[in-house]
Amino acid sequence: MDSCLFCKIARHELPSKIVFEDENNVAFEDINPQAPTHILVIPRKHIETLNSISEEEQLLLGGMVYTAVAIAKDRKISSSGYRLVWNTNRGAGQSVYHIHLHLLGGRAMAWPPG
């Protein structure tokens, strides 16, 4: 997707603080962090929302979760706790239509989320 913000970040066409990348996924610091650790994990493949995930893409989602957990361990927030969030569509707060997994941690968090 030529015009997609996160596709551009994945292709290094826009500046971002990338913390991890491999052939499938890219992880980078959120530009407006909501916690001391706030990282977004995205697939290189452009997928608009979780609603468009196909059966073949199940493993891609698992890889995103695996990447987020590895970063949480690396940041030493895995014991204290962290939250993985996938906002899907406007009612849940999705603002960028290229799926992304939020990794939030480093502070206490309330439940239920707002």
Query: Of the ranges 19-27, 77-85, 94-102, 106-114, which one interacts with Zn ion (CB under 5 A)?
Result: 94-102
Question: Would you say 50 or 70 has its CB closer to ligand 5GP?
Answer: 50
CB under 5 to 8 A by kind: which of ligand 5GP, Zn ion, none does 98 bind? Zn ion
Evaluate whether 87 touches 31 at the Cβ level (below 8 Å).
no
Tokens linked to 112: 């239920």
Active-site residue flag, 46: no
Residues 6-65 that bind Zn ion (CB under 5 A): 6-7, 46
Burial of 22-58, coded b for 16+ CB within 10 Å and e otherwise, reads eeebbbbebeeeebebbbbbbbeebbbebeeeeeeee
Question: Would you say 81 or 93 has its CB closer to ligand 5GP?
Answer: 93
